[in-house]
């Protein structure tokens, strides 16, 4: 059974720092991995999606990497800003396109100090 873990549960860093959020999964047979952002009391917003055949995806200051063999993904945020404060969740889907179950991690709550 696939399990997704995000450590740490909470992280606080000063503004301007580069930071890395971690996501690990137990079954490497995944179809894709998606990173989401969630603001308090709101729905999830998709940030990046990495297909199983890809190693990384980039969008602006965000870069997500995927290492299937080790069951890990990282979300790199460059030059952090107070507006980046939110909870970040990763989710894995797999192992094939017809499999509809998506397993979520419990998230990392990120706080950027001005």
Partner 1 sequence: DGGITQSPKYLFRKEGQNVTLSCEQNLNHDAMYWYRQDPGQGLRLIYYSQIVNDFQKGDIAEGYSVSREKKESFPLTVTSAQKNPTAFYLCATRDGSSTDTQYFGPGTRLTVL
- Which residue, 38 or 74, is less far from partner 1 as judged by CB? 38
For partner 1, what does the binding mask look like between residues 69 and 88, x meaning CB under 8 A?
A: --------------------
Tell me the C-alpha distance between 112 and 42, whole Å: 19
Binds partner 1 by CB under 8 A, chosen from 77, 93, 108, 110 = 93
Binds partner 1 by CB under 8 A, chosen from 31, 62, 63, 85 = 31
**Binding positions for partner 1, rule: CB under 8 A:** 4, 9, 31-32, 34, 36, 41-46, 49, 51, 89, 91, 93, 97, 100-102, 104-107
């Amino acid at each position: 059974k696939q399990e997704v873990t995000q450590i740490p549960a909470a992280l606080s860093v000063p503004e301007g720092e580069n930071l890395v959020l971690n996501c690990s999964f137990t079954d490497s047979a995944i179809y894709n991995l998606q990173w989401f952002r969630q603001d308090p009391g709101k729905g999830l917003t998709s940030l990046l999606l990495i297909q199983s055949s890809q190693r990384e995806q980039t969008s602006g200051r965000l870069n997500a990497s995927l290492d299937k063999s080790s069951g890990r993904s990282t979300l790199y945020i460059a030059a952090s800003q107070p507006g980046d404060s939110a909870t970040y969740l990763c989710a894995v889907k797999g192992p094939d396109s017809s499999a509809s179950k998506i397993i979520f991690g419990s998230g990392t709550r990120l706080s950027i100090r001005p």
